[in-house]
Amino acid sequence: MALDFYYEEYYVSKTANKNGINNTPGVDSNLGSEFSEATIKNNLEKIHINIIDPLRQNFPPYTNGGSKNIWITSAFRSKSLNEHPDVKGVENSQHRYGHAVDVFSLSHPTSLIFNWCYQNLPQWGQLIWEYPEYGGWQAGKKQISWVHISYVEGENDKTTAIATKREDLHEMYKSESTTRKGDYTHGIKLADENLL
């Protein structure tokens, strides 16, 4: 059984707070019904049930009281937050619709989180191993690796990628018949921590 869905966890943003940006779901509702609060909240609840809850159940601790190992760095993003220079999200980012979440673990490398999702989650859309060269979480560290996961009911085609600025990592994945676009090599099978 899924543990509680804490709505605020999916839209509270340090970047938004620091820069006075309204990141409340529904703030962009004038752009279309897909940006209404009800639609975005429903999408975030589906991510919680199908992605975050199973992930947290398998990487404890995870309690309703707030103790957890898997943390969300970004889920919903308003148009203004997505366009902010500190975020640099693509124009049609799935985060804007509440269809995507970025996560990291306090005690496990992002390669392990990526591989667990790849091998165990029955449904997901995009799964991206993001900048593994940044390394794992440490108190006070400003830049860390993360895993991007999306979930769109009925449209989960299970695409994978690694995002990295290291050319050697892109080269290593060429043997898997992958395709390259900028920082992204698409179509990787598993995240290989040994490459780092």
pLDDT in tens, 138-152: 999 989 999 999 999
Helical residues (DSSP H) of 48-194, grouped into ranges:
53-58, 79-83, 110-120, 167-172
| pLDDT at site 177 | 87
Q: In what order do the strands lie in the sheet with 100-105?
A: 70-74, 100-105, 146-150, 126-130, 159-163, 184-186, 179-181
Average pLDDT value for residue range 159-164: 97
Q: What is the band of 19 on the pLDDT scale with cuts at 50, 70, 90?
A: very high
Distances (CA, A) of 95 to 99, 102, 168, 178: 6, 9, 29, 25
| pLDDT at site 59 | 97
How many residues are recorded in the chain?
Answer: 196
**Main-chain phi, psi angles of 73, to 5 degrees:** -95, -30
| pLDDT at site 1 | 57
| pLDDT at site 193 | 87
Q: Are 110 and 59 in contact (CB under 8 A)?
A: no
For residue 156, pLDDT beyond 70:
yes
Q: Are 145 and 132 in contact (CB under 8 A)?
A: yes
* Helix/strand/coil (H/E/C) assignment for every residue in 33-87: HHHCHHHHHHHHHHHHHHHHHHHHHHCCCECCCCCECEEEEECCCCHHHHHCCCC
| pLDDT at site 65 | 75
Average pLDDT value for residue range 9-33: 97
- In angstroms, the CA 100 to CA 76 distance is 7
Q: Are 80 and 35 in contact (CB under 8 A)?
A: no
Average pLDDT, the chain: 95
CB atoms under 10 Å from CB of 88, counted, come to 9
Q: What is the band of 195 on the pLDDT scale with cuts at 50, 70, 90?
A: confident
- For 33-56, the pLDDT digits (tens) are 999 999 999 999 999 999 999 999
| pLDDT at site 3 | 83
- For 81-139, the pLDDT digits (tens) are 999 999 989 889 999 999 999 999 999 999 999 999 999 999 999 999 999 999 999 99
Report the SS3 class of residue 143. Answer: coil
The contacts of residue 122 (CB under 8 Å, 6+ apart) are none
